[in-house]
Copies of this chain bind each other. A is one copy, B any other.
C-alpha cells in the first residue's frame, strides 16, 4: 500500500471515453492507491447493469478522418464504428469495459453515483450494478480534499 488516494470524476458515457477513467482507476489500485470514482451526467451509463456503450464518429474528426461526414451519418454507421472499436480492442487483448469495471470493483474501488443526475435521468438503484453508492458533490469534496490526485474525466 502506498497510502495514497486518487479521486476521479467520470462524466462521459461513450465506449471510447469509458476507458481513460477505468484504466486510471485499475492501475491506481494495482499501485496501492485507494481509489474513489464519482459518476455523474453521462458517466452514469458506466454503472448500468446492462452496458450499451457506443462510439460516435460524428463530431470526432479523428475517427476515420477521410470518410465524408454525411457517410458517417448514415444509418448503421454508429453501430459499425462501435463494433469495429470493440473488435480492435479484443484483437489487441485489451479488457472490455465490463471486465475493467469488475477489476476495479474487485480491487475495492469505491463507485459513487451522483444522486442529482441519477434522479434527473430517472435512474433507480436497481439500474446500477451492486456496490454502487449514492453521493452528492459534498461527498466528492470530502474525498478530493484528502486525495493526492484528483481528475475530472
Contact = CB atoms under 8 A, between A and B. Distances in A.
Contact of A120 (B9, B92, B137): B92
Contact of A56 (B40, B59, B152): B59
Interface size on A, as a range, is 35 or more
A126 interface: no
Interface in A32-55: 33, 40-42, 45, 52-55
Given A20-B152, A152-B152, A138 B27 contact: yes
A120 B149 contact: no
Interface string A67-100: 0111001110110001000001100101000000
21 contacts: A9-B20, A16-B42, A20-B152, A28-B141, A30-B138, A31-B141, A45-B62, A52-B65, A54-B61, A54-B65, A56-B58, A56-B61, A58-B59, A61-B78, A70-B73, A92-B120, A94-B120, A145-B149, A149-B150, A151-B151, A152-B152
